[in-house]
Amino acid sequence: MRLHIKNGFLIDPKNKRDGRFDLVICDGCVEDVLPPGQKVAEADIIDVSGLIVSPGFIDLHTHLREPGFEYKETIQTGTRAAAAGGFTSVCCMANTYPVNDNASVTQDILKIAQESGCVNVYPIGAVTVGLKGERLTPMGELKEAGCVALSDDGQTIANSQVMRLAMEYAKSFSLPIISHAIDPVLAGEGVMNEGLTSTRLGLLGIPHAAEDMMIARDIYLAKLTGASLHIAHLSTREGVNLIKRAKEEGVAVTAEVTPHHLTLTDQAVGDYNTSAKMAPPLRNSEDQEALIEGVKSGIIDAIATDHAPHGVMDKEIEFDQAASGVIGLETALSILLQLFENKSLSINRIIELLTVNPARIAGLKRGSLEKGAMADLVIFNPKEEWEIDPSKFYSKSRNSPFTGMKVRGVVTHTFVSGKRVL
Amino acid sequence: MQLKRKDLLGIEELNREEIELILETARSFQEVSGREIKKVPALRGKTVVNLFFEDSTRTRISFEIAAKRLSADLLTITKSGSSVAKGETLLDTARNLEALGANLIVCRHRASGAPHWLARNLHASVINAGDGSHEHPSQALLDLLTVADRKKRMDGLQVAIVGDIAHSRVARSNIYAFSKMGAQVRVVGPATMIPRGIENFGVRGQCPQVFYDLGNGIQDCDVIMMLRIQQERIIWTPFSSLTEYSRFYGLNREILKRAKEDVIVMHPGPVNRGIELEPEVADGPHSVILDQVANGVAVRMAILYLLSGHS
């Protein structure tokens, strides 16, 4: 069956398309990209006047929690949340139980995704067995089984020797290493950004330096080994500077930022709001500005949600005991559109960092809508207003720092390989 | 007169009028404590629960005496003697107490923000009796009362708080309390004990001055408040030894001469004698430590009384 998506405004950064185009979809692929007004024979028509059509978003950093933490999220609920937020592919982190540190876990995840998922699921394998930072995982087998990258996300590989070996080994299999770069000793028992707000709240802080020095170390190791390094969830101004300098020197480093680090500061912790607790923590407005500037200038390659669902019993407890992480799949687009509305970023740039760039980093043949491409796409109304109410989310969890906020941007359609999933 | 709030969680959210109301009320209760029959019926029929998740003798007993002098029904639950040990969450425990009819819950907890979270989830009034490194409002109020009784004024007083500011809830509450009443606060200690951002903390225009040198820090001060070294809340020891700490940051008769002649020396207790305070200073003419203890009961009676209208 053929589908004619007409009268939309297509933004496809990879193909430098930004204007009125119709899409013809057939057999899961883009059959044609047409100027508006053309007739397509034997096609169902979807009229999307006034809406934006974009390649489906790709999230480099999702916690689907299955296997092991199904009370927080499952592959079914997590991929539904993804579809609702316009994401057609998610790369899921390895900190499940059991940890995705061997091929059989990867295969399991992919099997469950096949059966119950509604968007593409790309597992990320662990760098070290059990995320312990000691022994390397079977990276070759993980890749064969379907892993697209490696990360011990949630943990930092503190031992520089292990990190060096991991980078070299990963390089042999052309897999990027995604680094959760926070020095665990300097971060200590810290639970939020170190500064006036942590002092005011009497909470232990995590200094910027804990992150900056680990990013610097990883860049030096990437330089030493020639491996591909991707820095997860940048939160500091200096982090952006470090990435900039490394790129200027030709180091194979890329970086991502989350919608919450782009739009919030540590003041969001307010009155001990555990939905504003995450690692790395929300920083200052200076950092926030530097991150936006980093997106604008191209130093930061991707926007990733770090969707980290947690149950009530993980979050509705004392702040210092509460789990770190916030959900983000269903709010990412609207939160990012705030940056468009306040003229910080263009929609094109936002979409580029949600589509073609993450596809490139994870080596996925997705994220663009040229003739013959996989028909993964999202259609959204950038103007429609809604109020963020996590009780209405597809995600199983409610830990959003944006609860109650009035935002714009509603996803109306999501297609994965030509099939409508929202 | 009542406070127009359900809970007392910190000094940060109080304005000067509210602080003065509490101090005024406490003064009338000071008188009750001097009577032969130290009891008034103000809280008859109300249930006060002391919910203490962290070791405390002084504050717990002070709240107990305060509740009893107000004729409230009183229940004290400490960490070891309750279902807390069975893994019941803080909120479950508090909700059960509310279901059993508690009107006022006095909470001491190891985690900063724990009483705030209870307050959001309960109809009962919550009084913060110390949360982590955050606030200890009843302590600051009794300190204010003690200073006000001695000095008869607050505006322009120089107040030095000495010790581990970073881990101290007493310091935070007192910085707010004294600045709001017009005093100038200094914080004194080794840099490892001075938290980031302290120079912008508290009341705008009256933020604390930072001193690393004890002598300079207490120079010409009207009030010196020595903090206890809280070894239980420290993860990385922020000084090399207690001996060295005591040598450079302990208050002794000699260094005390740099303060004003009529300086008063305070300590929230319990004192580590010979560490932060030389025994001769703790027991000496400048010390008002026992006044603080006595005033604690009056201030806590005032707090319980002023919040009881809500429950």
pLDDT of residue A226: 98
Average pLDDT over residues A168-189: 97
The closest of A138, A128, A140 to A94, measured between CA atoms, is: A128
Cβ–Cβ below 8 Å for B196 and A198: yes
Residues B66 and B151 reside in one and the same domain: no
Residue B112, domain member (yes or no): yes
For residue B113, the chain A residues in CB contact (below 8 A) are 201-203, 271-272, 318-319
Between positions 134 and 163 of B, the ones with CB within 8 A of A are 134-135
pLDDT of residue B94: 84
pLDDT of residue B229: 85
Residues A303 and A409 reside in one and the same domain: no
Residue B40, domain member (yes or no): yes
**Sequence-ordered list of residues with C-beta below 8 angstroms from that of B88, at least 6 positions apart, any chain:** none
Task: Print the SS3 string covering A263-287.
Answer: HCCHHHHCCCCHHHCCCCCCCCHHH
A:B CB pairs within 8 Å: 72
For residue A312, the chain B residues in CB contact (below 8 A) are none
Determine contact: A316 vs chain B, CB below 8 A: yes
* A166-170, A244-248, B305-309: the lowest-pLDDT one: B305-309
Instruction: DSSP for A183-197, please give it.
Output: -HHHHTT--EESSHH
Residue A368, domain member (yes or no): no
Residues A416 and A293 reside in one and the same domain: no
Domain boundary among A319, A339, A362: A362
Residues B150 and B82 reside in one and the same domain: no
The answer, as to whether pTM is greater than 0.90, is yes
pLDDT of residue B232: 66
| Cis status, amide bond into A98, omega within 30 of 0 | yes
Residues B96 and B231 reside in one and the same domain: no
Residues B146 and B58 reside in one and the same domain: no
Facing residue for B112 by CB, picked from A194, A195, A320: A320
pLDDT of residue B240: 84
The CB density around residue A349, as the number of other CB atoms within 10 Å, is: 19
**Sequence-ordered list of residues with C-beta below 8 angstroms from that of B28, at least 6 positions apart, any chain:** none
pLDDT of residue B230: 75
Instruction: Copy the structure tokens of residue B58.
Output: 């002084």
Helices (H), chain B: 16-33, 58-69, 90-99, 114-121, 137-151, 169-180, 214-218, 242-249, 253-256, 279-282, 289-308
Convert the pLDDT of each residue in B219-273 to its tens digit: 999 999 999 987 666 667 788 888 999 999 999 999 999 999 999 999 999 999 9
- Please check the confidence at residue A418 and state whether its pLDDT lies above 60: yes
Q: How far apart are CA B211 and CA A319, in angstroms?
A: 31
Convert the pLDDT of each residue in B155-209 to its tens digit: 999 999 999 999 999 999 999 999 999 999 999 999 999 999 999 999 988 999 9
Task: Print the SS3 string covering A204-249.
Answer: CEECHHHHHHHHHHHHHHHHHHCCCEEECCCCCHHHHHHHHHHHHC
- Please check the confidence at residue B107 and state whether its pLDDT lies above 90: yes
Intra-chain end-to-end CA distance of chain B, in Å: 15
Facing residue for B195 by CB, picked from A199, A319, A321: A199
Q: How far apart are CA A152 and CA A167, in angstroms?
A: 12
Write the CATH number for A270: 3.20.20.140
Residue A281, domain member (yes or no): yes
Residues B85 and B39 reside in one and the same domain: yes
Q: What's the gap in Å between the CA of A207 and the closest CA on chain B?
A: 10
Q: How far apart are CA A84 and CA A177, in angstroms?
A: 28
Residue B113 buriedness (CB in 10 A; 0-12 / 13-18 / 19+): buried
- Chain B's closest residue to A193, CA to CA, is B196
| ipTM computed for the complex | 0.91
Structural domain range at position A405: 2-52+374-420
Residues B91 and B26 reside in one and the same domain: yes
Residues A387 and A292 reside in one and the same domain: no
Instruction: Copy the structure tokens of residue B165.
Output: 């500011």
Structural domain range at position B69: 16-134+293-308
Facing residue for B113 by CB, picked from A207, A313, A319: A319
Instruction: Copy the structure tokens of residue A133.
Output: 């930072």
Residues B84 and B143 reside in one and the same domain: no
pLDDT of residue A93: 98
Domain count, chain B: 2
Residue B1's pLDDT band (cuts 50, 70, 90): low
**Sequence-ordered list of residues with C-beta below 8 angstroms from that of A380, at least 6 positions apart, any chain:** A51, A52, A54, A86, A333, A409, A410, A411, A412
Facing residue for A195 by CB, picked from B135, B169, B196: B196
Give me chain A's average pLDDT, please.
97
Residue B210, domain member (yes or no): yes
Average pLDDT over residues A79-90: 98
For residue A202, the chain B residues in CB contact (below 8 A) are 112-113, 131-135, 169, 172
Between positions 172 and 191 of A, the ones with CB within 8 A of B are 188-189
Residues B270 and B160 reside in one and the same domain: yes
Determine contact: A372 vs chain B, CB below 8 A: no
Residues A230 and A323 reside in one and the same domain: yes
Residues B125 and B143 reside in one and the same domain: no
Domain count, chain A: 2
Residues B192 and B71 reside in one and the same domain: no
Residue B227, domain member (yes or no): yes
- Please check the confidence at residue B102 and state whether its pLDDT lies above 80: yes
The closest of A92, A84, A58 to A334, measured between CA atoms, is: A84
Residues B95 and B189 reside in one and the same domain: no
Residue B1, domain member (yes or no): no
Residues A108 and A196 reside in one and the same domain: yes
Residues A45 and A67 reside in one and the same domain: no
A307 with A78: CB under 8 angstroms? yes
Residue B11, domain member (yes or no): no
Residue A194, domain member (yes or no): yes
Convert the pLDDT of each residue in A205-228 to its tens digit: 999 999 999 999 999 999 999 999
The closest of A103, A106, A121 to A67, measured between CA atoms, is: A106
pLDDT of residue A334: 98
Residues A242 and A275 reside in one and the same domain: yes
Residue B68 buriedness (CB in 10 A; 0-12 / 13-18 / 19+): middle
Residues A295 and A322 reside in one and the same domain: yes
Instruction: DSSP for A293-321, please give it.
Output: HHHHHTSS-EE---B----HHHHSS-TTT
Which residue is it, tokens 């933004």?
A: A11
Residue A335, domain member (yes or no): yes
Write the CATH number for A16: 2.30.40.10
Residues A195 and A151 reside in one and the same domain: yes
| Residue type at B55 in one-letter notation | D
Residue A231, domain member (yes or no): yes
Average pLDDT over residues A402-407: 98
Cβ–Cβ below 8 Å for B196 and A196: yes
* A282-286, B107-111, B297-301: the lowest-pLDDT one: B107-111
Q: How far apart are CA B131 and CA A369, in angstroms?
A: 55
Residue B302's pLDDT band (cuts 50, 70, 90): very high
**Sequence-ordered list of residues with C-beta below 8 angstroms from that of B31, at least 6 positions apart, any chain:** none
Residues A38 and A141 reside in one and the same domain: no
Residue A319, domain member (yes or no): yes
Residue A367, domain member (yes or no): no
Convert the pLDDT of each residue in B44-98 to its tens digit: 999 999 999 888 889 999 999 999 999 999 999 987 545 555 556 788 888 898 8
Residues A402 and A303 reside in one and the same domain: no
Intra-chain end-to-end CA distance of chain A, in Å: 18
Residues A43 and A83 reside in one and the same domain: no
Write the CATH number for B67: 3.40.50.1370
Cβ–Cβ below 8 Å for A205 and B135: no
Residue A369, domain member (yes or no): no
Residues B69 and B34 reside in one and the same domain: yes
